[in-house]
């Protein structure tokens, strides 16, 4: 399992946090450690999920990854 923190642009409230958490929770083999305004920290199985899928989930919520 790899732990990674994503810096996220455009989040400003608790609704933003919930939207990102919801999209990340749709991915299998991903454990959400923390989501707060401006970032998300997750653990994931690199053999089953890649960083692009995580970034895509955050973008699907309407925000931009700025790592």
Residue bearing the bigger pLDDT, 67 or 23: 23
Res. 15: pLDDT tops 90: yes
Residue 39's pLDDT is: 98
Which pLDDT band, with edges at 50, 70 and 90, does 59 fall under?
Answer: very high
Over range 4-28, report the average pLDDT.
97
Q: pLDDT tens across 19-52, in order?
A: 999 999 999 999 999 999 999 999 999 999 999 9
Closest CA to 34 of 20, 46, 48, 47: 20
- CATH fit for domain 2-65, picks 3.40.50.2000, 3.30.1360.120, 2.30.110.10, 3.30.70.100: 3.30.70.100
């Amino acid at each position: 399992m790899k732990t990674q923190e994503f810096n996220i642009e455009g989040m400003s409230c608790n609704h933003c946090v919930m939207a990102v958490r919801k999209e990340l929770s749709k991915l299998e083999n991903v454990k959400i450690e923390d989501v707060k305004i401006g970032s998300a920290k997750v653990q994931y199985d690199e053999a089953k999920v890649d960083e692009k899928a995580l970034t895509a989930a955050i973008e699907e919520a309407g925000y931009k990854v700025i790592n």
